[in-house]
Structure 1
Amino acid sequence: MKTTSEILEINKKQKDFYNNVKQNFLTRMWAGFRNGLLNKIRKNIGVQDQVYGLHKVWFGDLSQKKVLDLGCFSGNNLSTFLAKNSKSYTGIDLSDQAIERLKEKIQSFPGAKAEAVDFLSEEFSEKDFDLIYAYGVLHHFPSIDILISRLNEKLSAKGQIISYDPLQTSKPIWILRTLYRPFQSDADWEWPFTKKVYYKLSKEFNIVERHGILGKSKWITLLNILPIGSARKVNIGQKWHQQDWENSERNDAVLFRCMHLTMLMQKK
């Protein structure tokens, strides 16, 4: 189990990685698959719009909320929306270069700021956030216990977390990730959620709502090689996605067949 000081040292390497991206061949291949074909599929079958639309619903009325955009790099898809509409917005990331770009995007919004700082460091002393938005971030922490403690420390009473992270609970995905991990450039800070991690989060926070993504619908990648029309492929993918989305909300078996998980959590 990593200590906070050990994670802070790892995060110095992570900062350098994102400031000067140094991916080996296999990491570039995986990133190309994830950001290329997989993202295209997610967009075609409506995953992206549905996720971001749901996150906006989960935000609720931001006008009186103090918001932390955690690990936002130079701004995720909803960073400027949060900065524009919240009472107070703070975007943080390890990469100082990325934060400089975010500062330019949000400079016209009163009450919005961005800071290059480690979430776990003593330098980041601000707290009492009503909402922590963590898109693709929570799985970067090797110790779930340290992360949970820090999140609770930073949240206001009944404060909420909106997260989106990869799962490695599906057997085929677990096999692929296990084979790939020894060659992964960013393995030190890439920890897709296991069942154990999910159950720890569900014990420490109230999970108000959750949805799994790319469960049955992940097999659309194989369907793409079949000689059937693109419109039919999209229709099948959309149907499978909706089954994943709806059935994973209450059914753990369906959830753990998915590649990604988004959650609305509330401090107890």
Structure 2
Amino acid sequence: MKTTQEILETNKKQKEFYNNFKQNFFTKLWAKFRNGILNKTRKNIGVSNQTYDLHRVWFGDLKDKKVLDLGCFSGNALSMYLAENSKSYLGIDLSDVAISKLSDRLKPYPNAKAEAIDFLSDEFTERNFDLVYAYGVLHHFPSTDILINRLNEIMSDNASIISYDPLETSWPVKLVRILYRPFQSDADWEWPFTKETIQKYHNAFDVIERRGILGKSKWVFVVNFLPISEERKKKIGQKWHQQDWEKSAVSDYALYKCMHLTMLMKKK
């Protein structure tokens, strides 16, 4: 189990990595797969739009909410929406290069600001956030216990967390990650959720709603090789995705087959 100080030291390397993106061949190859084939699949079957639409619903009325956009880099898909509609908005990331870009984007919003800072450091003193938006972030912390304690420290009563992270609970995905990890440039801060990780969040917070993504639908790339129309391929992918979406909300078995997980959690 890593200590907070050890994680802070690792985060210095993480900052340098994201400031310069010095990836080795294998990490670039994985990124190309993730940002190419997977993103194309998610777009074609409607995963991305459905996820963002759900997050907007989960945000609720933002006008009286103090929002933390955790690990937002130069801004994620909903950063500007949060900045425009919340009572106050703070976007933080380790990368000062990325935060500089985000600061420029936030200029139209007087209630919004961005800061390059480590979430776990003593320098981060902001408190009483009503909403923490953590898109693709929570899995960057090797100690779930330390992260959960920190989240509880900075959240107001009845505050919400909205997360989106990769899973390592599906055997094909786990096998690929095991083979890839020895060559991974960012292995020190990439910790996809396991069954144990998910259970820790269920124990620490009230999980109001959750959805798994790319379960059965991750195999839609195989369908692309079939001699059928593009429209038919798309409909199959959409059907499989909707099955993943609905079943993972209530079934651990269905959830553990998925590649990604998004959750709405409330502070207990």
Alignment TM-score, normalising by the size of structure 2: 0.99
Q: Distance in 2 between matches of 1:226 and 1:30?
A: 25
Per the alignment, residue 131 of structure 1 pairs with 131
Question: Post-superposition, which runs of at least 4 consecutive aligned residues in structure 1 deviate over 6 A?
Answer: none
Whichever residue aligns with residue 156 of structure 1, its letter is S
Whichever residue aligns with residue 192 of structure 2, its letter is P
Q: Distance in 2 between matches of 1:194 and 1:184?
A: 18
Post-superposition Cα deviations, 1:137-168, rounded to whole Å, max 9, x if no partner, equal 00000000000000000110010000000000
Post-superposition Cα deviations, 1:196-217, rounded to whole Å, max 9, x if no partner, equal 0000000000000000000000
Q: Distance in 1 between matches of 2:11 and 2:234?
A: 40
How far residue 226 of structure 1 moved from its aligned partner, in angstroms, is: 2.2
SS at 2:226 equivalent: coil
Q: Distance in 2 between matches of 1:147 and 1:223?
A: 40
Post-superposition Cα deviations, 1:17-62, rounded to whole Å, max 9, x if no partner, equal 0001111111101000000111000000000000000000000000
Per the alignment, residue 84 of structure 1 pairs with 84
Unaligned runs of 5+ in 2: none
Q: Distance in 1 between matches of 2:226 and 2:82?
A: 42
Whichever residue aligns with residue 147 of structure 2, its letter is L
Q: Distance in 2 between matches of 1:30 and 1:228?
A: 29
Per the alignment, residue 13 of structure 1 pairs with 13
Per the alignment, residue 57 of structure 1 pairs with 57
Per the alignment, residue 75 of structure 2 pairs with 75
Whether 2:105 is the aligned partner of 1:105: answer: yes
Unaligned runs of 5+ in 1: none
Per the alignment, residue 44 of structure 2 pairs with 44
Per the alignment, residue 141 of structure 2 pairs with 141
Matched pairs, number: 268
Per the alignment, residue 233 of structure 2 pairs with 233
Q: Distance in 2 between matches of 1:221 and 1:2?
A: 38
Whether 2:157 is the aligned partner of 1:162: answer: no
How far residue 227 of structure 1 moved from its aligned partner, in angstroms, is: 2.2
* C-alpha RMSD of matched pairs (Å): 0.5
How far residue 222 of structure 1 moved from its aligned partner, in angstroms, is: 1.7
Per the alignment, residue 204 of structure 2 pairs with 204
Whichever residue aligns with residue 229 of structure 2, its letter is G
Identity %: 68
